[in-house]
Chains A and B, each alone.
Chain A
């Protein structure tokens, strides 16, 4: 008995010794896996499975925490990941308010962060925080260009009464003037509302040339259903956050001909072969659907997938300069993020610049149209 105890103890000690000898890269992840934003947080989480298990001889560990869609819990999670787990890198969160809440924590603790939600940050915070998705100023362009092509003069807005709705509205407002398009209505609804009839009637009473819906996921189908009920036939546009199959399933005939701006992964099959995003998007779709079922690929998981690609490109450079688990490594990783150029993802080609959190350009957005239950590229 005694000798077996001794053996066990030695084995345990050996294990501990070996694990401390080999450094590992610890990545802290905060996502909204429960609560109202879970419909985005869960696909983000599944996309993170694309992170390599090992890179440059170091093992990679992801510590995933759930913030329950609450920005103040997100801050607590970030502090725990930074102070207790001593992570080298933060990934997430999955919602804009949570990114706003965490970015100062990452910045003051000098931990690099790859956010998964669009966010406008000041130059100081953008030093430590980069973000994957396209900024509103970029994805609104193809929508406005298409409106101009159809000689639209007035547009009505309906969107969520939350920061995502605000971001959509501000993107539209800031860019519309350049195209001589006037915004005639700003109507809002909550994600769980049963009906938007009142808002839609108000919009239609203003007789707009086009309608832009600033919502996300399946709740984003509600205005389209109400518009179809009122027999609206004009051009309708949607934000990038509706690119998933469930939106099309729920919207059915009501979302036919709805146009949306999306990352290239949204319609990669129709991209020219010369576009490097096409091959990677095909790879992502195959990988994701093998794990999660036919037709499950979506834009949110694609953002996570791109975060993994960016990590895989930047980490070897950082590893050549410092050992993981040290502040030197965090500094090196931050520098490597900025030094690595032309990283091809599924949502765009990333070049992170010094004074902004965004790293994508106009190659990161295409205009698609819903036709018979699928998104088709608008040329």
Chain B
């Protein structure tokens, strides 16, 4: 491997790593505030990318109908609960607004919008359509079992991933899509060209990790989310509204997923099921950060990206094996570093 090749591989590794970093951030965010390992995170990114791809093919994406169906189910679930609680008028109105009006607004826009929107508008619309999917799924699936064990929540997440990728096949068909590039010009640095797409991803991941770090460690709503995840009852006694914490976390996470999907769709071919592998590698990156720290998750994801790129050069047939096997030394090192401390999970539940 000479210097040129090493530089190209490093660049490839970092641009892949930036994608995994976004995934890792979303997963850490959801885990930190709900104790859910959100496996379908990558699927949501694929939904956004494919929705944008469909706009560019001048077709109506199936996500519109998915959101409408989810909104109706969520409202039905909410209605049963409110009816049993004999809730007042104001609460009913809020439920209708949250479950029906807000999710369906972007869908309605997409249905009436002219087919040849500018790229920025298409991207914004794609993000807006996918945005309600996370909170609606939380309302329907996770909220009723919010107090369950981490293992049960993980099992539900895996099942949800299979359901979502099946729905994606139904909505988008089996073929892959790539969208138009946002930025065509690449930066020339002497002999090397740096893709502006990669630069954008790295900046987005860095900004997001710093932002999330400050949100959770320096602001009251962030601390409230964290407290809810650590101890639901304790947080409630402190006057924190725990029931809306999960939905907020899912909204932020879905926004990260959707933006990631839209940002990487010009350089990555998205298939209905390609979110899973990307998400899984993000998971490995998040493990590097112990699933708690945002900057650590980004560093971990970038390391995974570079490991993947280097191994695709030296032993392409064993690439996935090397990437996923790297989780073993990572966990081992963290365990040694932590001394005899118990795994974070037990501390939280204790």
Contacts and interface: CB of A to CB of B under 8 A. Distances in A.
A194 B278 contact: yes
A38 interface: yes
Contact of A218 (B12, B166, B175): B175
Given A201-B313, A205-B5, A194 B268 contact: yes
A246 interface: yes
A188 B313 CA distance: 10
A216 to B, nearest CB: 12
A-B interface, 7 closest residue pairs, ranked by CB to CB distance from nearest: A198-B312, A39-B174, A198-B313, A197-B12, A218-B176, A188-B317, A192-B274
A250 interface: yes
A190 B277 contact: yes
B310 interface: yes
B312 A219 contact: no
Contact of A192 (B173, B273, B313, B316): B273
B163 to A, nearest CB: 11
**Most chain B beta-carbon contacts within 10 A, residue among A41, A192, A205, A219:** A192
A343 interface: no
Contacts of B269: 218-219, 221-222, 250
Contacts of A205: 5
Contacts of B314: 202
* Majority DSSP secondary structure for residues of B touching A: helix
B178 interface: yes
9 contacts: A39-B174, A161-B317, A189-B316, A190-B319, A194-B264, A195-B12, A201-B313, A218-B271, A246-B176
A197 B309 contact: yes
Given A38-B169, A218-B176, A222-B269, A197 B316 contact: no
Interface string B258-270: 0000001001110
A190 B9 contact: no
Nearest to A199: B316
Interface string B268-287: 11011110111000000000
B8 A197 contact: yes
Nearest to A201: B5
A193 to B, nearest CB: 8
A21 to B, nearest CB: 40
A194 B19 contact: yes
B320 interface: yes
A202 B314 CA distance: 8
Contacts of B278: 192, 194
B316 A219 contact: no
Interface string B193-237: 000000000000000000000000000000000000000000000
Interface in A154-200: 161, 186-190, 192-199
B343 to A, nearest CB: 31
- How extensive is the interface on chain B, given as a class? 35 or more
Contacts of B32: none
Contacts of B173: 42
A196 B274 contact: no
A79 interface: no
B16 interface: yes
A36 B173 CA distance: 12
B273 A197 contact: no
Contacts of B309: 195, 197-198
B135 to A, nearest CB: 27
B175 A246 contact: yes
A217 interface: yes
A248 B242 CA distance: 51
Given A194-B19, A197-B12, A250 B169 contact: no
Interface string B285-323: 000000000000000000000000111111011011000
A217 B309 CA distance: 23
B166 A34 contact: yes
Given A197-B9, A197-B12, A198-B12, A34 B169 contact: yes
Given A195-B268, A199-B312, A218-B269, 11 more contacts: A35-B273, A161-B316, A187-B316, A189-B312, A189-B319, A190-B320, A192-B271, A195-B15, A198-B12, A218-B176, A250-B269
